[in-house]
Structure 1
Amino acid sequence: MSKNVVKTAVNAIQKFYPIKLADKTWDNTGLLVDASHDEQSSSAADEKIRVLLTIDLTQDVANEAIQNKSNLIMAYHPFIFKGLKSIGQSDPQQKSLVKLIRNGISVYCPHTAVDSAKGGVNDFLADGISKGIKEDSREVVEKDKEEEGCGMGRIIQLSKPTPLSKLVDNVKVSLGLSHLQVALARGENKEHLISSIAICAGSGGGVFRGLKADLFYTGELSHHEALYFNETGSSIIVCNHSNTERAFLNTIQEQLIEELPEGSEVKISEKDKDPFQTW
């Protein structure tokens, strides 16, 4: 993949999810692996953009990218997070890193830029849980200081109190899940009425801190966070961390197909999956 083609693919991603929206205080976003080569050495075949979308860049996904002849992986979660002091073959992440570079595959990670974006993953979750139900309002929990409608988390007010069971069904449909976890507010049952919903893709504990809502909807919470919300009168829906993000890859696929040059390929990984299963 030539440098120009890498730039074209990265620009397409950043059009929808600008890197300035990412939380730079802790997140590691952007082009984390640049395996491009000089224009002079490129061939016509190399110039076709082949993108593989995934939430996590596991060894199986890396092998899938090689088999598909992908030249860019867009991995939602940062593939490189902590600083590397050496690169070897004993660590699975580093082994994949070496393999990807050998095969000329670059890696771009947008992460919290997608979390923050207007119309990004958190709005996708809000649309899914409230489908068929009118919203009175939708607000960003942690507002971006520069971009209107952007920031971490969402909180929605429903125009009509809705049974929890209906909202659980909506989540299952929107995320394509057959099972999820629900923690009922103290003294309530699955039909109790919900008027306000706080939402955060991935891990919501930090974003939810200090919020009041009838229902908290996220990928994961710690045991003590869950107990606190229950004891203070809120119910919880958790779906496992990456399950709140994976369905949104379909939207990203559509966006990139529209934006990239004609003939480009954008595939969603068939090997990417949440590490936890319900047996």
Structure 2
Amino acid sequence: MLNCEVRNDKDGRTMLPGLKNLFNWSMGCMLFTPVTDMRDSYAPSLPPYNDVNRVPSKQMASAPAILPKVLKTVQKLYPVALADKTWDNTGLLLEAPIPHRPAANGVSRVLLTIDLTTAVAEEALREGSGVAVIVAYHPIIFRGLKSLTMKDTQQRSLLRLAAAGISIYAPHTAVDAAVGGVNDWLADGVSGGKEHEEKREVLQNGTKVEGHEDGGMGRLVELKEPLELIELVKRVKKLTGLKYVQVARPQLLEKVKTIAICAGSGGSLFRGVQADCFFTGELGHHETLATVENGMSAIICGHTNTERGFLAAVMKPRLEELLKEEEEKIEVVVSEGDRDPVEIM
């Protein structure tokens, strides 16, 4: 249990950023302050509270309306019904109990990221960011939480974001399955567009949702003209912005006509699929061996590298277009702190 004490506003002691807003909003002049020993051991890097964290009353009154507009827009593009709820934790993961603070120009922002890391949380909490909602592709809350403490980095981010009035939404597999989602973006990038394809199918049928009748997990693309494997690798590099990718191939394979595609981890989805090449972010060792043994190739980019480019290329402009119909003073930005945790040196 967190040790704490209540101090009058004039006391001037150090506290977690944003918590003063949370408790001033609900308790008037009273505020919540962690005692020194707990503060030092749990959050030594957090800056002291100062008056720039105050939220003017007018901004506080108008800010809560932002979240419903963002949820409506995201769910219009990527309906929750498309998500694989048998294992995925898609939806609103954190609803902030207080309003966020818009930027100085009155603009509120939606921050897009693949993973909600500490670096991304710091970016959202930066003074003047104006972030109201973080749309994190991967759910930061995946399984049940038994506690919320400052020792755990993810839980600390959740607490700090809630105290700053920032909500979190995770669309994950709804984006995977949607028509025009991340898997269609990958398919367009490697084929050159549907005009160069004989056909495009899903690897696993999903829930039928209006506007997404052809949606589902993964994609299987048949090209009109076979493609040299090395040319396909070049297209993948251009699409993902990667200098290097992993390629597994049988010695005799030279050209590719069918490509099975899965953003993120494709191992289980590719099971039983026949294609000249698997294109995915992650494939297990034995799955890769089996692929080559069966005369197929695989292009493996690293889990999030098959997802991250979609945010700036597709999700950002589509959200901006729809949000402008709802609210003029909302901007969509892609996180600068989000990155793949693994790099080739």
TM-score (norm 2): 0.76
- Select which of 27, 39, 58 maps to 2:117: 58
1:9–1:49 Cα contact (<8 Å) kept:
no
Partner in structure 1 of residue 337 of structure 2: 271
| Partners of 2:106 and 2:177 in 1: CA distance | 32
Please name the residue that 2:237 is paired with. Answer: 172
Higher normalized contact order (CA 8 Å, seq sep 6+, divided by chain length) = 1
Q: CA separation in 2, counterparts of 1:18 and 1:243?
A: 23
TM-superposed CA distance for 1:43, in Å, is 8.8
Alignment: residue pair count: 274
With 211-220 and 254-263 compared, the bigger mean Cα shift is at 254-263
Residue matched to 1:91:
152
Contact kept? 1:202, 1:220, Cα under 8 Å: yes
> Structure 2 residue aligned with 1:205, among 264, 267, 281?
267
1:227 aligns with 2:265: no
CA separation of 1:265/1:236 partners in 2, compared to 1, >3 Å: closer, same or farther? Answer: same
Which of 210, 228, 252 aligns to 1:188? It is 252
What SS does structure 2 have at the residue aligned with 1:206? coil
Distance 2:72 2:282 in 1: 32
2:214 to 127, 149, 161: 149
Q: CA deviation at 1:271?
A: 0.5
1:160 correspondence with 2:225: yes
C-alpha separation in 2, matches of 1:164 and 1:203? 21
Partner of 2:190: 129
Rounded to whole Å, the distance in 2 between the matches of 1:201 and 1:42 is 35
Equivalent of 1:37 in 65, 83, 98? 98
Tell me how far apart the structure 1 counterparts of residues 228 and 278 of structure 2 sit (CA, whole Å).
14
In the TM superposition, what is the alpha-carbon distance from 1:64 to its structure 2 partner? 0.3
For 1:144 and 1:244, locate their aligned partners in 2 and report how far apart those are by CA, in whole Å.
Answer: 21
Unmatched 5+ stretches in structure 2: 1-59
Letter in 2 for 1:11: K
Shift of residue 264 of structure 1?
Answer: 1.2
- What is the Cα deviation at residue 45 of structure 1? 7.2
Alignment RMSD (CA, Å): 2.0
Secondary structure, counterpart of 2:131 in structure 1: coil
* Local SS of the residue matching 2:268: helix
**Structure 1 residue 3, shift from structure 2 partner:** 3.7
Determine whether 1:80 maps to 2:141: yes
1:5 matches 2:63: no
Give 1:44 shift.
10
Deviates more, 1:17-26 or 1:253-262: 253-262
Q: Distance in 2 between matches of 1:45 and 1:8?
A: 21
Secondary structure at 1:247's aligned position in 2? helix
Check whether the contact 2:277–2:298 (CA below 8 A) recurs between aligned residues: yes
Give the whole-Å Cα distance in 1 for the aligned partners of 2:207 and 2:318.
25
**Whole-angstrom distance in 1 between the partners of 2:270 and 2:152:** 34
1:23 to 46, 60, 84: 84
Q: 2-side partners of 1:265 and 1:55: how far apart?
A: 18
- Unaligned 5+ runs, structure 1: none
Partner of 1:259: 322
Q: Following the alignment from structure 1 to structure 2, what is the Cα–Cα distance between the partners of residues 267 and 102? A: 21
What is the percentage of aligned positions where both structures have the same residue? 51
Displacement of 1:90 after TM fit? 1.0
Q: Which moved more, 1:67-76 or 1:215-224?
A: 67-76
Task: Give the residue type in structure 2 aligned to 1:98.
Answer: L
